[in-house]
Chains A and B, each alone.
Chain A
Amino acid sequence: MSLIIKNLYFQYTQKEPILSNISISINIGEKIAIMGASGMGKSTLLKVLVSYLSPSSGDIFFKSVPLNGSKPFSNMAYVSQSSYKSLFPWLNLRENVYYPLVLRNKLNKENQNYCDQLIQKLNLSHRTNSYPNNLSGGEQKRLTLAIALSYKPELFFLDEPFAGIDFRLTEELWDFLYQYFSLNNTTVLFASHNIDEVSIILTV
């Protein structure tokens, strides 16, 4: 087993629990979609899994390493609905993509080439010197994906990452992710209320 979630509860102070007794086991390389109407707690579950919120009780393990501490698992990625808020506006597009590697002291020629390929595959080559506030919504989403993929995470959480983007671009991005996840055997957990998106990822 890769990702194990045991009896997970989450509630905001003195309110009804949003997550109640959630238990899931996911194998390495498995792709799981969490579906449900808005307000059902899909995003909350992912936020708890990435340590953005602390669970009220329960355990989360990835490869036997507990995830519910204050420090997130070092080799995971998370792309949320409002991913534009995650970008680093003082860095240009290329610097944003290199940034995880700089922070991890892993920026070498090979990794730089890998990042440049990511930028190219995500059709961002023409904007490498642009700053995030000068990018369109679609470009910002693609940039967030490029950052999240730059350090080759083993575990990937996606929370309706392409919400608000036109269908054609969404398809292109899922197609790209399909190939990436297949090639790297990445464990993926993604939340969506869109059956079309789910059908794409279920073919992985």
Chain B
Amino acid sequence: MPVVLILICYLINIFAPATLKFPPHLILNEIFLLFKDTSFQNALFQTLYSTFISLFLAIVIGTFLGYLLGYNQTIWNLSQPTIDFFRSIPVTFLIPIATLLLGVSDSRIIWILSTYPCILIIIFSVRGGITLQEPERLHFYKIISGKSNLVSRFLHVTLFETLPHIFSGFRISLSYCLVIVTVLEYLRLGNKLGIGGLVNNELEMQHYPKVYALVFIIGFIGFLLNKSTEYLQHRYFNWSISEPNAA
């Protein structure tokens, strides 16, 4: 990653107009200054807060709908055209509808708009987990437990079988959600200033090194979040048995 970043800086220094050329040490200095700045700290908190609220809502709604659609083929068949319809609509196209309903300055507008695409990701992940369940394991459970009711099977087998898939959906949604939240903040939606809003402000004031620094920070936060969730997934939700080759 550092090599790629240095390469990008180098390319900017070659191709960008003179007004946009800044030595890397200047951007690095801006990053250090930003972390000391209270308004940046508040913006960072606001962005992460909106991201996690949206993600939490997406997990709750998406998991519920994912199980519902995974268990019931009829409901899935009926809802698939609707899901396909909605997943083709970009979030930005929903902004006018959301602003009409909530107004531009309502902070819930960011939560709702960034939750919507993440719900779809989580629905597909959970449903995928249910359809990929090992039928032999479910049957083995019925035999060894002497129980055949759906709730018991769900709690002891399906839930665990789908957890890695839910977590995969969560991981993909997390990066995606951060992107949408910062874009919506950049468009000045909601009443709180997030990192996206800060980028917009600095751009208007032509503080380009600060803009570069903020872009770098957003990328780095995304990288850190993805790495930490990847670690959690491999550490705690990495169960799969492949066909054994040797005795």
Contacts and interface: CB of A to CB of B under 8 A. Distances in A.
Interface of A: 50-52, 70-72, 74-78, 80, 82, 84-90, 99-100, 103-104, 131-133, 135-138, 140-141, 147-148, 151, 164-166, 169
Contacts of B160: 88, 90
Contacts of B42: none
Given A84-B244, A136-B244, A140-B244, A148 B239 contact: no
Interface stretch (B93-101, B136-144, B217-225): B136-144
Contacts of B134: 85-86
B95 to A, nearest CB: 42
A103 B147 contact: yes
Nearest to B144: A100
Interface of B: 134, 136-137, 139-148, 156-157, 160, 163, 239-247
A78 B140 contact: yes
Given A74-B146, A100-B145, A84 B243 contact: yes
Given A88-B160, A89-B239, A165 B247 contact: yes
Contacts of B139: 50-52, 78, 86
A42 B144 CA distance: 22
A74 B140 CA distance: 12
A163 to B, nearest CB: 11
A84 B143 contact: no
B136 A104 contact: no
Contacts of A165: 247
B144 A99 contact: yes
Contacts of B240: 89, 133
A76 B143 contact: yes
Contact of B143 (A78, A137, A138, A141): A78
A78 to B, nearest CB: 5
